[in-house]
Amino acid sequence: MSRYRYLLPPGRPLPPPVVDVLIAAVVAVLTGSDAAVNEPGYRQADAVTWLLFAVSIGALLVRSRYPVAVTVVTGAACAGWALYGHIGELLNLPVMVALYAVAVQGDRRRTVRTAVVAAVISGAVSLVAGIDVVQPQGAPLLEMLWPLVPLLLGEAVRGRRELMREYADRAERAEAEREREARRRVEQERVRIARELHDVVAHTVSAMTVQAGLALDAFDARPEVAREAMRQVRASGKEAVHELRATVSVLRSEGGDLTGPAPRLAELEDLVERVRGTGLDVTLRVAAGPLPQVVELAAYRIVQEALTNVIRHADARHATVSVTPDGHRLRVEVTDDGHHGGVGRGPAAPDGRGGGGRAAEGGDGTPGHGTPGEGTAGDGFG
């Protein structure tokens, strides 16, 4: 058997015409051998017998395309054998094969109609032919039952095929849904990484620009101040590179943690210290205890965006950062003594969201509002 394993591609069914030819050949061997030998006392095989045989086998060659028509032709040939007086155990095999095709290729309604018609005709033929002829197959009542066997078998096979097709369709839909979910998660992760990169670059570049300007102004008159400013520039650059590497490492590591190393509230002191290096006096008050990582990351980024906005636009000398619990919510507030209208918000992230988007990401986000005469950036979320 192993020598013939690769004659056909694995899992690929034979074409229907080929199947029809093979079935017709098997039926021809079985039915022909039965028709050639008849019991003594009954009509022996003659030209009429072989004509009916040829009609039956020829009809089976188009069984897949015309199952109902083939059933009619093979049924008429089987009835002709009985009425002609020729008996045999397998002379009804062609019509049984055709009845199976009617059921397996049709629907339940057609199967029921065919069963009724075939049973009635088979019983009628047995009565007309006489008990002597039909005795090998049984009494007329039993003759009405044999057409039901291939029909029931075909119906069972058709039902199983429909069930398997339904399972396959469900599997395809589930796979498509998994692919859509995977694409959605990838897109969300791309937005998250882009937002992280934006937060790091926007804040650090703004701080470094101010520090570099301070160093340039004090380069001749106050060299110590200039050197300190440049040290702050170097420290800010190193911190930015560290955060960028932590974020980009998610893309390089296969199966890595998608959240990546994220800043926490405990690192706000380092952030504020870098901002102080720009000349802005910052007061930090953090009264919140340990929180979920996503909440702490959102609070950190809100403060970072707000301080970046103060440095770039507020022309302020002092800012206050307050992170305090407010019931079941966390309130983040950044105020300054600068001059700018409206709410002191951080620059929009690549996904189109500023601090309010961060607050919504951390939970139920409620942006704060500015008060006259001062710059304010605040978010409450929980």
The average confidence (pLDDT) of the chain is 77
Predicted confidence (pLDDT) per residue in 134-183, tens digit: 454 456 777 888 899 999 999 999 999 999 999 999 999 999 999 999 88
The reply to whether 118 and 255 lie within a common domain is no
Q: Where is pLDDT greater, at 113 or 347?
A: 113
**Residues 337 and 197 occupy one common structural domain:** yes
Domain holding 193, by residue range, is 179-381
What 3-state class would DSSP assign to 105?
Answer: helix
**Shared-domain flag, residues 184 and 306:** yes
Q: What is the CA radius of gyration of the chain?
A: 43
Band of pLDDT at residue 306, cut at 50, 70 and 90 = confident
CA atoms of 62 and 323, how far apart (whole Å): 82
In a domain, 165, yes or no: no
- Claim to verify: residue 248 and residue 127 sit in the same structural domain: no
Contact (CB, 8 A) for 289 and 322: no
pLDDT tops 60 at residue 256: no
- Could you tell me if residue 172 is inside a domain? no
Residue 263: name the closest of 254, 272, 253 by CA. 272
pTM over 0.75: no
For residues 368 and 296, state if they share a domain: yes
Phi, psi of 367, rounded to the nearest 5 degrees: -65, 150
Task: Give CA–CA dist 78/271, Å, rounded.
Answer: 95
Q: What are phi and psi of 161, to 5 degrees?
A: -65, -45
Average confidence (pLDDT) over 321-333:
85
Higher pLDDT, 193 or 342: 193
Domain CATH number, residue 376 = 3.30.565.10
Secondary structure of 320-348 as H, E, C letters: EEEEEEECCEEEEEEEECCCCCCCCCCCC
Which of 92, 123, 146 is a domain's end point? 146
Residue 230 lies in a domain: yes
What is the tally of structural domains in the chain?
Answer: 2
